[in-house]
Amino acid sequence: MQLNCPNQNRSNQSFRNSSHTMQFKPIGRWLAGVTILGLVSISGMAPVRADSGLFNSAVDQLPAATRTILRSGSSIVTGEKGKYVAQVLVTGSMDTAWSVLTDYENFARFLPNVESNKVLEMRKDSKIIMEQVSFQQVFLFTIKSRVKLALTESNRQRVDFKLQDSDQLQSMTGYWQIEPIAPYQGATPTQVLITQVVESQPKSGTPRDTFYDIFKNTLSKTMSAVGREMTKREAAKSK
């Protein structure tokens, strides 16, 4: 659920390192999709839950090891080979979480590796067409890439995304979801569980192991950045 706005002419530029195009172009093919916020259900990729009959909140239903990591304030990413579930637990309101995930034009301000983000179209069916330009440091090289996504917002709790066009990615689909978390049954929620489920594959010729490793690492950084931005906005509300 970006989830971190530029000149539209950037979409027509060729984002290649002028001195090292042939050596690193395959790696660059996947970079634009790594930090995207934003969702479509993926079979087999829903967050793993414990026995829902034993617990109350969405966090309590997660495996014990996952709960421990989330409650420590850290983000967690599980999955492999391009299919991932990323989560972070943040103190604050659903409204604040939603404002962060849908602040499309400002993704470059708080999301890692996002150079620009632009809403190209807002349709009556709640579908949004968005273009994002991102960059990634690979060894001593900076590689830029572009993606065009179709986003669908649902009930101020979920944003589905699907790749429409990219100069680097073969496919990407997924969703962001936010859920209120109360400290105990019947209490007012004081935290929000933010989840991103994503499946992404690079175009042919990309070293897949490198793609998967850096994709997963960047997902973790993105979730942490979303959590920090939400905390910052909550602090500003209390002043």
Residue 85's domain is classified under what CATH number?
Answer: 3.30.530.20
User: Phi then psi for 21, rounded to 5 degrees?
Assistant: -60, -50
Domain housing 181? 8-237
- Residue 1 domain-assigned (yes or no): no
Structure tokens at 148: 């065009």
- Residue 3 domain-assigned (yes or no): no
Cα-atom radius of gyration of the chain, to the nearest Å? 18
- Residue 169 domain-assigned (yes or no): yes
- Residue 2 domain-assigned (yes or no): no
The pLDDT of residue 49 is 55
The pLDDT of residue 211 is 86
**Closest-CA residue to 223 (of 204, 201, 196, 197):** 196
Number of structural domains found in the chain: 1
Q: Are 36 and 169 in contact (CB under 8 A)?
A: no
Per-residue confidence of the chain (239 residues) as pLDDT tens digits? 444 434 444 444 443 344 443 344 444 444 445 554 433 333 345 665 544 434 578 999 999 999 999 999 999 999 999 999 999 999 999 999 999 999 999 999 999 989 999 999 998 777 999 999 998 776 666 778 899 999 999 999 999 999 999 988 899 999 999 999 999 888 999 999 999 999 999 888 888 888 888 889 889 999 999 999 999 999 999 87
The pLDDT of residue 41 is 33
